[in-house]
Chain A
Amino acid sequence: AQTVTQSQPEMSVQEAETVTLSCTYDTSENNYYLFWYKQPPSRQMILVIRQEAYKQQNATENRFSVNFQKAAKSFSLKISDSQLGDTAMYFCAFTTNRGSQGNLIFGKGTKLSVKP
């Protein structure tokens, strides 16, 4: 069975500092996709970053970057220069592209609070 584990239920960071959210996953597949989603309080879930497993280069989107370690099945999210608007639930997610296994599998989320 494929699983996604986020071991940090809650984290906090000071504004302008850097924070790293952890995510590990388990799969026997070789081709798959990894995502980080952000859900601000009472707002829509939005995509933060996407990584394709066959690409060795870590994905980056402005202040958000990932550390993808395929052998260790680890996919952490680094947020640089944290802003108050980064306060949200962050979900790590995984999918293959094979039939119903192509549905996203989510971790339980990490609640991030950015403090002024």
Chain B
Amino acid sequence: EADIYQTPRYLVIGTGKKITLECSQTMGHDKMYWYQQDPGMELHLIHYSYGVNSTEKGDLSSESTVSRIRTEHFPLTLESARPSHTSQYLCASSENLGSSYTFGSGTRLTVV
């Protein structure tokens, strides 16, 4: 039973559209993360948050933005989608630094 939920599971959209990928968790975790997973399956951290109103960019530069208005919710937005944004996006949360991550099922995004 998943405690972290991502929607949609799959999304195909046209170039230039604005999209928001949703991520919610019910565990009360302060720390949340967004990873981009490339076709070779390598994981790249693109955003993270250590609490409400706290967001930081990750190791991989991304044109996406995030917000953290509520503890349980960490949406990712692309203002103008491009084919280069085609990828799988994984959301995760953790209780403390050093704790294991709980991952969502991912959103597979295709921009045509």
Contacts and interface: CB of A to CB of B under 8 A. Distances in A.
B12 interface: no
Given A45-B90, A100-B56, A103-B58, A50 B100 contact: yes
Interface string B72-112: 00000000000000000010100011101111111000000
Given A35-B100, A97-B96, A103-B45, A44 B33 contact: no
A43 to B, nearest CB: 7
Q: Dominant SS at the B interface?
A: loop
Contact of A44 (B42, B56, B100, B103): B103
Interface residues of A, number: 26
A114 to B, nearest CB: 17
Interface in B29-80: 33, 40-43, 45, 48, 56, 58
Contacts of B45: 103-104
B33 A111 contact: no
B103 A46 contact: yes
29 contacts: A32-B98, A44-B2, A44-B103, A44-B106, A45-B90, A45-B92, A46-B103, A47-B100, A47-B101, A47-B102, A50-B100, A89-B41, A96-B97, A97-B96, A97-B98, A98-B97, A99-B97, A100-B56, A102-B97, A102-B98, A103-B33, A103-B45, A103-B48, A104-B33, A104-B45, A108-B40, A108-B41, A109-B42, A111-B41
Interface of B: 2, 33, 40-43, 45, 48, 56, 58, 90, 92, 96-98, 100-106
Interface of A: 32-33, 35, 37, 39, 43-47, 50, 89, 91, 95-100, 102-104, 106, 108-109, 111
